[in-house]
Structure 1
């Protein structure tokens, strides 16, 4: 099994969206994925990209990804926000997640960001245990909020 971690390119977008749908299904919300391929591609590879990603290729096929953007905290400054992090369930436990997460840490350091933030569902024990290996802090004090516009 040949594993390669690399920056995502526009041609990866259809496969990344397939994996996004797998993630949404795993998180019990498959109907919530409404982004179009065109909007997804434009947002990541258009004139002013708002997201970046790394992909994990296994034998030439993208089987995992980590998609992030830069957010600003008035308390902490610029931070990486990990929007989605996913490895195909058939390939979990083979080190792809660790390779992707380690690449994110290197990228945050390269960009001189002061941290990485993300969300994890409270029932997702495998993910929580993975993040604990990195010394992640879990904040049970804040609610997630959103409104459609």
Structure 2
């Protein structure tokens, strides 16, 4: 959760993290996990993770959806992000998914440059849409 909060602060939205530690753990390690992750540790402390889940596209089939790739600031620039990204590619191949998708903020130039090194297509044609739990309750 510390890394989740660090990412939210970096993305200028710390107030947006509303998930509890209990919900986070249940969703990943409970009876019906909905996400998986690869982590990088240093001296027994998680310093980076790549959290993903399976997304289904009616056009493309099963795809790995990368929800978050975060390397704590102190460990950036040491190749950890590349190791995690490469592990995600291996997962896509092993599970025979049709590909991998994710989002990146348009102002996050270091991340965009990192993804472009891999030849990733950055699509500016889509806008994010969402409804909160409270909004859905009112519908």
**TM-score tier (shorter):** over 0.9
Gaps of 5+ in 1: 1-16
Which residue does the alignment assign to 2:83?
Answer: 99
* Aligned mates of 1:46, 1:58 — CA distance in 2: 26
Partner SS state of residue 34, structure 2: coil
> Aligned to 1:38, which of 17, 22, 30?
22
Do residues 83 (structure 1) and 64 (structure 2) align? no
CA RMSD of aligned residues (A): 0.7
Do residues 121 (structure 1) and 105 (structure 2) align? yes
* Aligned mates of 1:58, 1:116 — CA distance in 2: 27
TM-score, structure 2 normalization: 0.94
Do residues 70 (structure 1) and 54 (structure 2) align? yes
Partner SS state of residue 142, structure 1: coil
* Aligned mates of 2:110, 2:121 — CA distance in 1: 16
> Which structure is higher in RCO with an 8 Å CA cutoff and minimum separation 6?
1
> Aligned to 2:117, which of 124, 128, 133?
133
Q: CA deviation at 1:60?
A: 2.2
Moved over 4 A (4+): none
* Aligned mates of 2:84, 2:104 — CA distance in 1: 16
* Aligned mates of 1:78, 1:32 — CA distance in 2: 28
Q: CA deviation at 1:58?
A: 1.8
* Aligned mates of 2:44, 2:106 — CA distance in 1: 33
Count of residue pairs the alignment pairs up: 133
Which residue does the alignment assign to 2:3?
Answer: 19
Partner SS state of residue 94, structure 1: coil
